[in-house]
Chain A
């Protein structure tokens, strides 16, 4: 994505930054995530919402996004299923689950190279 866009959320235009993430993270609402999903052609499942909330809580606590291995461990614990791996997360967001989790959670694109 090369230029800033916007998205309509509950009838209001909300600005995205040049990376396609919410320009002002303070403006995040669950309606924003639903609007983004409509635009991306995704139906948000309970697992999508779990990931979005996990990424938001993690960022609130540590001010960084979680590592993939941390998300996998947390999902295993939440579902009480030790067979869960990163595959389940890639089924939610096939490109980059943590980065897309940040996008849907209204956080900036992680600027690190991990």
Chain B
């Protein structure tokens, strides 16, 4: 992939194909990749890996094309499917995802300048235990590269902090791998399974300013 001096843009997509979120991201990818000077990488994770059962052209990629690089998380794929991704998609690792993030000029569609090696991962919804585990794996992969990481739980996801599966996340705090924040009703996190810190909604801007923001 000759990405040379092009602006490097990476998208992370975790929503199932056809969902509102996936369609919006798909649209953003098309718009971004239409600019000739941009080298676009799309990383499919979680339920989004199902996209690799369909044509790569749906995502701006083509068999033997260098236009858009379509990477599929190997672990997320093999948990769901026995066959290989369709032509035009390539299996990859979460470490490769983070390597792309650190090398990118832009992460996602919102124009974040990836000039930092410090990231905030924002979680607003967790659909299942597997979803939570796969999100944790993204965080751990970043932590394995010693990236400065904060994880921000908002909205519906805050309730997860009081649930039993959250104890897996406790390793982030116990071993200094990431700081965990939450914005929301304190009552919702009774029985907190991990040492998350409360954050006032007004402080979110301070947390994310100058850093890469990735919505999981």
Contacts and interface: CB of A to CB of B under 8 A. Distances in A.
Interface residues of B, number: 23
B171 A70 contact: yes
Interface string B155-185: 0000000000001101100011100000000
A62 B141 CA distance: 16
A67 B140 contact: yes
Interface of B: 73-75, 78-79, 92-95, 136-137, 140-141, 143-144, 146, 167-168, 170-171, 175-177
Interface stretch (A25-33, A38-46, A106-114): A106-114
A111 B75 contact: yes
**B78, B143, B175, most chain A CB atoms within 10 A:** B175
A13 interface: no
A111 B170 contact: no
B7 to A, nearest CB: 27
A69 interface: yes
Contact of A113 (B74, B146, B170): B74
A8 interface: no
Given A112-B75, A113-B73, A113-B74, A67 B137 contact: no
Interface in A58-114: 58, 61-64, 66-70, 73, 111-114
A114 B175 contact: no
A97 to B, nearest CB: 13
10 contacts: A58-B171, A64-B136, A67-B177, A69-B146, A111-B75, A112-B75, A112-B141, A113-B75, A114-B95, A114-B137
Contact of B144 (A62, A64, A67, A111): A67
Contacts of A69: 143-144, 146, 177
Chain A interface size, under 10 / 10 to 19 / 20 to 34 / 35 or more = 10 to 19
A113 B140 contact: no
B137 A68 contact: no
**A58, A61, A73, A112, most chain B CB atoms within 10 A:** A112
Nearest to A71: B175
B144 A68 contact: yes
A63 B137 CA distance: 12
Contacts of B141: 112-114
Nearest to B78: A111
A22 to B, nearest CB: 21
A113 B144 CA distance: 11
Given A69-B143, A112-B94, A114-B140, 16 more contacts: A62-B168, A66-B175, A67-B144, A67-B175, A69-B144, A70-B171, A70-B175, A73-B175, A73-B176, A111-B78, A111-B79, A112-B140, A113-B94, A113-B95, A113-B141, A114-B93
